[in-house]
Amino acid sequence: MLSQFTATPGKGTTRLTYSKEDLQARNYIKEIMKEYGLSVREDGLGNIFGKLEGTLKDAPSVLVGSHFDSVPNGGSYDGPAGVVAGLEVAGLFSKNNLTPKYPLEVIALIEEEGSRFGGGLMGSRGITGLLTEEEFFKITDKDGKTTVEAMTEIGLDPSLPKKRDPKTLKAFLELHIEQGPILEEKGIPIGMVEAIVGLTQLEVTVEGRAGHAGTTPMDRRADALVAAAQMIAKFPEFACEEGDGTVITTGRLNVWPNGANVIPDKVVFTVDIRSGKEERVLDAVEKVTEWVKSYNGHGIKTTVQQQLYMPPKVMNQEIVSLLKQKCSERNLSYCSINSGAGHDAMVLSDVTDVAMLFIPSKDGLSHCPEEWSSSKDIANAVEILYEAAKTLTEAE
């Protein structure tokens, strides 16, 4: 399956956007799309679309899919489970010789995790225009390589259109692993996503003064790392104060010059803030920003940049009801659930009707090699998506 395309064999899936492994996975996905009779297209971001034409002229498409990139040393299911589900839905259309009125489109999106270019959700943000072409062209990876250079290296064409006219979209269905423990603990095979939590990423830069670790007295220092450490240590307290499941995480920290005997003069770290309630997110952003700024002075200078802000998003109630109905018809139990992670569905909900299904994650684990979901759960979800896609595309 897709998990064979990894830069870290035996140590989980590492499939960064526009890497060699991206190209291998891409070719595999395109091959299956063709096998299922879909016409394949890539846009100027490298997102892949496999389309089964409908009988209605110029009708909007029902999209099914997810992303196919991964975090470093991640799992085989976060993203690809949804892409494979989309492919299998198309496979069932082909096997049952269905002709839809509205086109069915399987989509495989790039850079949802933001592991190479930061920010995340790049494929869907490009499609909706939330990320403009100009902004896209300016983005570089940690080695300074631009998106355009990286795309060209694997034979993609960055000059192709990126933003999609919302009029071409009828609905988007995404299957994703839960990435948490709830469904497994309850023994329920399907999670019906009602809302996706809001998500904010800040990038904090702390500048101090470099100096010799042996000869600079403690009271003459402006140590950027000591200041950053004190800032970060306070974040868990802020999250608890907010409550309502608010979480704050610093997951990346870079130190300059990063020498064992040099006082750090610059630190850049990320702050990821999430909550199901928008006011909690906004409040936490304000608290973090104020706290960071309070360190200005005595040779320390701070800047806070908001790199991403997504308010909580509610799923389309009609499609959610349709999915629930399909579950009931098949005697599959489900429960309502909120998504604690951001997803492409969240971005696409701005331009089309979206719904999401979750399947259980073993031990609630994700973003690690141990990430696992059962093929039976995936197959069940595919059935539900297939039935819903049949209704939404008005296929016979």
Separation between Cα atoms, residue 247 and residue 288, nearest integer Å: 12
Q: How buried is 90 (Cβ within 10 angstroms: 0-12 exposed, 13-18 middle, 19+ buried)?
A: buried
To the nearest whole angstrom, how small is the minimum distance from the Cβ of residue 172 to Zn ion? 14
Give the three-class secondary structure for 223: coil
Write the DSSP symbol of residue 167: G
Residue nearer to Zn ion on the CB measure, 88 or 113: 113
Q: DSSP characters for 110-126?
A: S-SS-TTTSSS-HHHHH
Separation between Cα atoms, residue 147 and residue 18, nearest integer Å: 8
Residue nearer to Zn ion on the CB measure, 177 or 239: 177
To the nearest whole angstrom, how small is the minimum distance from the Cβ of residue 344 to Zn ion? 8
Residue nearer to Zn ion on the CB measure, 122 or 228: 122
Residues 6+ apart with CB under 8 A from 347: 121, 124, 125, 127, 128, 130, 310
Using CB under 5 A, list all residues that contact Zn ion: 78-79
To the nearest whole angstrom, how small is the minimum distance from the Cβ of residue 82 to Zn ion? 8
Separation between Cα atoms, residue 208 and residue 223, nearest integer Å: 5
Tally the C-alpha atoms within 13 A of residue 202's C-alpha that lie toward its C-beta: 25
To the nearest whole angstrom, how small is the minimum distance from the Cβ of residue 69 to Zn ion? 9
To the nearest whole angstrom, how small is the minimum distance from the Cβ of residue 143 to Zn ion? 24
Residue nearer to Zn ion on the CB measure, 16 or 222: 16
To the nearest whole angstrom, how small is the minimum distance from the Cβ of residue 340 to Zn ion? 12
Residue nearer to Zn ion on the CB measure, 78 or 207: 78
- Residue 210: CB atoms within 10 A of its CB come to 18
User: What are the φ and ψ backbone dihedral angles of 308, each rounded to 5 degrees?
Assistant: -155, 135
Residue nearer to Zn ion on the CB measure, 68 or 269: 68
